[in-house]
Amino acid sequence: MAGIETNNPSSAESLEYSDTFGKRMKVLWNRFRKNAFAVIGLCTLLFFYGTAALASLVAPYPEGGDPRYDIFLIDLKPMHVSYHVILHEDLVVVVPDKGEAFYRDVTQKIFPADQEFLAKAREGGSYLFDDEGKPARFKPNLMGRDELGRDVFSRILYASRISLTIGFVSVGISILIGTVWGCLAGYYGGVIDNIMMRIVDAIMCIPTFLLLVTVMSVLKPNIFNVMIVLGLTGWTGIARLVRAEFLSLMRRDYVEAARGIGAKDRRIIFRHVLPNAMGPIIVAATMGVAGAILAVLRPWCHASSGKLGKHAH
Amino acid sequence: MWSFILRRLIQAIPLLFIITIISFLIINLAPGDPVYMFVNPDQVSQQDLALIRLQLGLDKPLPLRYAIWLGNIMRGDLGNSFYYARPVSRVLMEALPNTLILALCATIFSFAIAIPAGIISAMRRNTAFDYAFSTVSFIGVSLPSFWFGLLMILVFSLRLDWLPTSGMYSLSVQGYDFWDRVRHLVLPTLVLGMGTMASKMRYMRSAMLEVIRQDYVRTAKAKGLASRVVIGKHALRNALLPVITLLGFIVPSLVGGAAIVETIFGWPGIGRIAVQAAFTRDYPLMMGNLLLSSTMVILGSLLADVLYAVADPRIRYD
């Protein structure tokens, strides 16, 4: 992020005079490489997108948990609701609670209680047991297990796919629409600016969360629709930022000069003025990805009273 | 300039009209029915449902309901909230001062840190100061407020016992105690302000970087002006546009409330009411809240436009 803004006169010149696309990219990359923070940022991004893309290889457990592993999360605390553990002589009877039975595939499990089980039962707490009632030795749970016995680390890996995709795509749509909209409003000004910016005001007022719910009920509730709704409503801020830059930049001499030599509107907007308005766009894009991820999270968090780690759909 | 402001205020009326129509449609077409808030859906007769609908005015077709709502608005009546069973205007007016004070404090707090930090990190780019502030502000924006808020309560209220956990004032305090209020304000302000500090700082920093390499800044430096004058008078003015845009966004957020922070800290503000209204499908309350925030969005946009011209005289609206 910070690397792109570098103002090194010599490299700026070489960027100016390198006309082929490949050369420009090479100059950009050389500049980028020199900034340690930019490289660290890129590596972090690649790491998270990489683990999300390869979640099925990296995650120790399958998506949504593995029934073989999560059946016997037994909570020996008496007040716990999900299982009733009854110790009867040398038998352990595990009776799943009514609400849990439907997806656990077991209604009742009886196995002989050995010394280890009895010792743990007296201590209380949650333990994992295998089919025989022996303390289970499974693959490690890096971040523990959730209340249904699923591996939290695996779930985070799979869920990050959704969050990262939504963040990236919806902000991409927003930046694209917002930039073009702001350019046109700021460039043409006057009545066109007024109409375009009043449309921005109106879209800003529309309650996004309810729009999301309404669209989900009409169309299919999937992450593509979430991305599109967030993208189509989230561009208003960028439009305002870009348009403000344009209002000021349009009065600069170089725009006058470009017009004087007969440059077309499109060339002036995208080649002359827009590069000078990139600062706020870059900030909006970086902040926007984080914002979009949290925006998706927010309503669901609220609905499930702060339970993280639920899949977004 | 005054005629510009007047023109924009007149334009606001048809704009609000359009906004309320669209939002009225979205709000009413969203799945969910407010009548089920009053009854048990499993054991209710059709007659009872029809009666409740009649009482709430939901039996009429959508266009007619909008017309009735609009007619009442013209007479200054926002209707009655379904959930609170009280006038919407009163529900909102009770929460408005609370939301306003919290949002104002958080805004001032985050601007007071973000703007100087943004300027200094642009001037001393790639120094320890720049990296330190960037890191802190990015941590601030990355921490979800529900988690950060709970952490703050855990540390400052439960462990250290310095500040109250929630609410606006202590129940044990009789009457109005200024310092008691301030103590209750600290944590929500901190959590709310931290979340928005990073973006303000980054906008300020990138705008400043753009400006300080301009010729006139070099000229000002060359003629021997103090760096404080160069930055404060010559550079800052030209770097203010993005910050003014942000200021325009802040105007609606002053009355919009922050649902999560308000919920965590038990702050009786508008954010909680808005979320409650959305989940209970409290149509009149939602529309009242929307009218309030829409007005502020339009005013914020106007304020930003006026301030652009003040900060940068090259900007003209003709």
Q: Which residue on chain B is closest to A295 by alpha carbon?
A: B144
Model pLDDT, residue B241? 86
CATH number at residue A301: 1.10.3720.10
* Residues in CB range of B181: below 8 A, 6 or more apart: B168, B169
- Residue A273 is assigned to a structural domain of this protein: yes
When the candidates are 1.10.3720.10, 2.60.40.770, 3.30.1370.100, 3.40.640.10, the CATH number that belongs to B88-311 is 1.10.3720.10
Lowest mean pLDDT among A180-189, B68-77, B309-318: B309-318
| Distance (Å, whole) CA B115 – CA A176 | 28
Enter the DSSP assignment of A136: P
How far are the Cα atoms of A112, A140, B73, B146, B275 from residue B261, in angstroms, in the given order?
51, 36, 31, 7, 12
Residue B205 and residue B113: Cα distance in Å, rounded?
Answer: 13
Most confident of A67-81, A96-110, A185-199, B268-282: A185-199
| Sign of the torsion formed by the C-alpha atoms of A146, A149, A155 and A156 | positive
| Cα–Cα separations (whole angstroms), residue B18 to A198, A202, B52 | 11, 8, 29
Q: Which of A259-268, B177-186, B271-280 has the highest mean pLDDT?
A: A259-268
Contact between A213 and B293 using a beta-carbon 8 Å cutoff: no
With an 8 Å Cβ cutoff, are A297 and B144 in contact? Answer: yes
Give the Cα separation of A258 and A270 in Å (integer). Answer: 12
- Judgement on whether residues A235 and A98 belong to the same structural domain of the protein: no
Q: How many domains does chain A have?
A: 2
Q: Which residue has the tokens 């300027």?
A: B119
The reported pLDDT for the residue numbered B192 is 86
List, for residues B174-208, the tens digit of each pLDDT value.
777 777 778 888 888 888 888 888 888 888 888 88
Q: Is A10 exposed, middle or buried (0-12, 13-18, 19+ CB in 10 A)?
A: exposed
Residue B38: pLDDT above 80? no
Please indicate if any CB of chain B lies within 8 Å of the CB of A247.
Answer: yes
Q: Do A207 and B22 touch (CB under 8 A)?
A: no
Give the least confident one: A119-123, A210-214, A296-300, B181-185. Answer: A296-300
Shared domain check, A222 and A84? no
Same domain, A259 and A131: no
Measured between CB atoms, which of A202, A245, A282 is closest to B18?
A: A202
Task: Check whether residue A94 and residue A48 sit in a common domain.
Answer: no
Residue A25 forms part of a structural domain? no
- Residues of A within 8 A of B318 (CB-CB) are 189-190
Q: What angle do CA B273, B275, B276 make, to 5 degrees?
A: 60
Could you tell me if A288 and A183 lie in one domain?
Answer: yes
CA atoms within 13 A on the CB side of B115: 18
pLDDT of residue A311: 32
CA separation, residue B86 to residues B161, B255, B282, B284 (Å): 38, 20, 12, 11
Q: What was the pLDDT predicted at A199?
A: 92
Residue A26 is assigned to a structural domain of this protein: no
Determine the length of chain A. Answer: 313
Query: Count of A–B CB contacts within 8 Å?
Result: 128
From CA A71, how far away is CA A55, in angstroms rounded?
23
Residue B62 near residue B21 (C-beta atoms within 8 A):
no
* Kind plus residue range of the DSSP H or E element containing B313: none
Q: Does residue A283 sit in the same domain as residue A307?
A: yes
CA B262, CA B173: separation in Å to the nearest integer? 21
Q: Å from B308 to nearest chain A CA?
A: 7
pLDDT of residue A8: 46
Question: Residue A278: is it exposed, middle or buried by C-beta count within 10 angstroms (0-12/13-18/19+)?
Answer: middle
SS3 string of B142-178? HCCHHHHHHHHHHHHHHHCCCCCCCCCCCCCCCCCCH
List chain B domain ranges.
2-74, 88-311
Separation of alpha carbons A70 and A106, rounded Å = 12
The larger pLDDT score, comparing residue B290 to residue A221, is at B290
Residue A299 lies in a domain: yes
Q: What is the pLDDT of residues B237-248, one digit of tens each?
A: 888 888 888 888
Q: At A7, is the pLDDT very low, low, confident or very high (cuts 50, 70, 90)?
A: very low
Looking at beta carbons, which residues of chain B come within 8 Å of A35? 126
Residues A159 and A301 in one domain: yes
Is the per-residue pLDDT at A309 higher than 50? no
CA-closest candidate to residue B212, choices B192, B227, B190:
B227
Among A147, A170, A196, residue at a domain's last position? A147
Residue of B315, B317, B318 to mutate when probing chain A, most A C-beta within 10 A? B315
Last residue of a domain, one of A123, A147, A171: A147
**A239 within some domain:** yes
**What DSSP line would sit under A159-219, residue for residue?**
HHHHHHHHHHHHHHHHHHHHHHHHHHHHHH-HHHHHHHHHHHHHHHHS-HHHHHHHHHHHS
Of A89, A121, A147, at which residue does a domain stop?
A: A147
Which residue, chain included where needed, has tokens 């409740």?
B52
- Are A172 and A135 in the same domain? no
Answer whether residue A282 is part of any domain: yes
Residue A243 has pLDDT above 80, yes or no: yes
Q: Are B264 and B192 in contact (CB under 8 A)?
A: no
- Under an 8 A CB cutoff, do B304 and A280 touch? no
**pLDDT the model gives residue A229:** 86
Cβ-contact B145, B191 below 8 angstroms: yes
The answer to whether A251 contacts B314, with C-beta atoms less than 8 Å apart, is yes
CA distance, residue B41 to nearest chain A CA (Å): 20
Output the six-digit token pair for A28: 């950009």
Residue A192 has pLDDT above 80, yes or no: yes
As a whole number, the mean pLDDT across chain B is: 84
Segment among A101-115, A291-305, B166-180 with least mean pLDDT: A101-115
The alpha-carbon gap from A132 to the nearest alpha carbon of chain B, in Å, equals: 40
Residue type, A116: E
Residues A132 and A199 both lie in one domain: no
**Mean pLDDT (chain A, rounded):** 71
Do A105 and A212 belong together in one domain? no
B301 and A290: CB-CB below 8 Å?
A: no
Summarize the confidence of residues B134-147 as an average pLDDT.
80
CB-hemisphere CA count at 13 Å for B169? 12
Confidence of residue A141 (pLDDT cuts 50, 70, 90): low
Q: Are residue A192 and residue A253 in the same domain, yes or no?
A: yes
| HSE-up (13 A, CA, CB side) for residue B311 | 22
At residue A153, does pLDDT exceed 50?
A: yes
Distance CA B243, CA A164 (A): 28
Domain of A126?
67-147
The helix/strand/coil state of A308 is coil
Residues A303, A221, single domain; the answer is: yes
- The two structure tokens encoding residue B196: 């928005």
B27 neighbourhood in chain A, CB within 8 Å: 207, 210
